[in-house]
Amino acid sequence: MDAVRRQFPYLRAKPQPVYLDSAAMAQVPDAVLDAVNAWEQSSRSNVHRGMHERAEASTIAYESARSTVQTFINATHADEIIFTKSCTEAINLVARSWGEQNLHTGDAVVLSILEHHSNIVPWQQLQERKGIDILWVDMDDEGGLRYDQLETHLQSGRVKLVAITALSNVLGTAPDLPKIISLAHKTGALVSVDAAQAIAHMPIDVQELDCDFLAFSGHKLYAPTGVGVLYGKRELLQSMPPFLGGGMMIRNVTTEGFSPADLPAKFEAGTPPIAQAVGLAAAIDWLKQYSWKDIQTHEQEILQLTIDRLKSIPALHILGAAGNFQFSIFNFQFLHGCLSFTLSSVHPHDLTEILGRKGIALRAGHHCCMPLHKRLGIPASNRLSVGIYTTKEEIDACVKAILEAQKKLHP
């Protein structure tokens, strides 16, 4: 762990920070900062337009970042990788482009109650514009999805798309994607996966999953902010209209109109996030030195310890699966990256503020999941999230501070 933490400038600080907010944003290692710095110093130039040496170096770096992402998620073609500014923008691209073109009054999109607002609002905007229906899939008490409801929705024959998270950013539960994708495809519905959280905690193979779209952000994967990725199956992306208009997304422009460029340029209007894409590729290369097995074993040990410790705190309630399972039978295929909890009579914002003053970073609020919190019957919760660098000492420090805060607020 020391060797991992030493690679993160923020985690080298003294006193050592207790950073349990990686689900909001992971920290960046030196390797990523160095790669971005190297591009700034030796290649900084716009891509796909200059003929000079720097422009070529920059274009090569940018396109090589695309290949790195392609390999990382095992996409068939590099042009199935579209760089966006974020996961949110990638989902909006699907809704605005594919959705506007393919969804009509009476069609339905299925969402789960676990979704982040980024995977709700773009579909609600489409509902307003196109008169489509949104059909919701509820969860069971352990944060698992009600697959029976999904099947009922799909049997209606109206569902054109299932937009689903690969990992809840509140409960840490991972829906059974292969099952969902197979059920949806049997009825001819497409599946768009929100992998914002999953991307840093589990291997993702888009060919094996057979998902139609998949979106994520760099900043939760130890990469810079300002870059996201949309994966789409090539034939789908080819058939979709451009999302944003501007430079570089065209084949031809006249005073009468324009014709769009081929993939991936069609969806990358204007100057793309070049430095950020280079940083994302560096983060992926950096992460690849560790095996997924080691990463998952470590994070799951930490989560197991967290549950163990939190359960000993009186009046603390862990939400979803983590709160209900017994350790001995705990299925960690089901839980990754984070968990959330409430503490009786203590508002989450009060708790995280007190912890924050002690240098302990947790997140409080609805975590951009208001429908899920409504379903849970609470306005807000505290979220503790882990990453490759999280230590047992951090969990111990956090639990100690929660106990102290509890005593202070309710002596």
Instruction: Select 180 or 261, whichever has its Cβ closest to ligand PLP.
Output: 180
- Concerning whether 368 is annotated as a catalytic residue, the answer is yes
Give the 3-state DSSP-derived string for 33-99, with helices as H, strands as E and coil as C: HHHHHHHHHHCCCCCCCCCCHHHHHHHHHHHHHHHHHHHHHCCCCHHHEEEECCHHHHHHHHHHHHH
Structure tokens at 28: 């960046």
Instruction: Select 226 or 356, whichever has its Cβ closest to ligand PLP.
Output: 226
Contact (CB, 8 A) for 322 and 343: no
Q: How far is the CB of 79 from ligand PLP (least distance, A)?
A: 22
Catalytic residue among 338, 368, 369, 398, which? 368
Instruction: Select 43 or 165, whichever has its Cβ closest to ligand PLP.
Output: 165
Give the contacts of 370 (CB within 8 A, at least 6 positions apart). 117
The residue assigned the tokens 């950073």 is 19
Q: How far is the CB of 89 from ligand PLP (least distance, A)?
A: 7
> Helices marked H in 170-266 — which ranges?
177-186, 206-209, 234-239
The residue assigned the tokens 């769009």 is 260
Instruction: Select 59 or 84, whichever has its Cβ closest to ligand PLP.
Output: 84
Query: How big is the chain, counted in residues?
Result: 411
Instruction: Select 97 or 217, whichever has its Cβ closest to ligand PLP.
Output: 217
Q: How far is the CB of 88 from ligand PLP (least distance, A)?
A: 3
* Cα gap 341→322, rounded to integer Å: 10
Instruction: Select 170 or 275, whichever has its Cβ closest to ligand PLP.
Output: 170
Contact (CB, 8 A) for 386 and 336: no
**What Rg do the C-alpha atoms of the chain give, in angstroms?**
22
Q: What is the DSSP letter of 87?
A: H
Q: How far is the CB of 92 from ligand PLP (least distance, A)?
A: 9
| Footprint on this chain of ligand PLP (rule: CB under 6 A) | 86-88, 116, 118-119, 165, 169, 194, 196-197, 217
Q: How far is the CB of 84 from ligand PLP (least distance, A)?
A: 9
Q: How far is the CB of 6 from ligand PLP (least distance, A)?
A: 27
E strand map for 118-183:
133-137, 159-165
Structure tokens at 319: 């939400």
* Cα gap 166→145, rounded to integer Å: 12
Structure tokens at 45: 């130039």
Residues forming the active site: 368
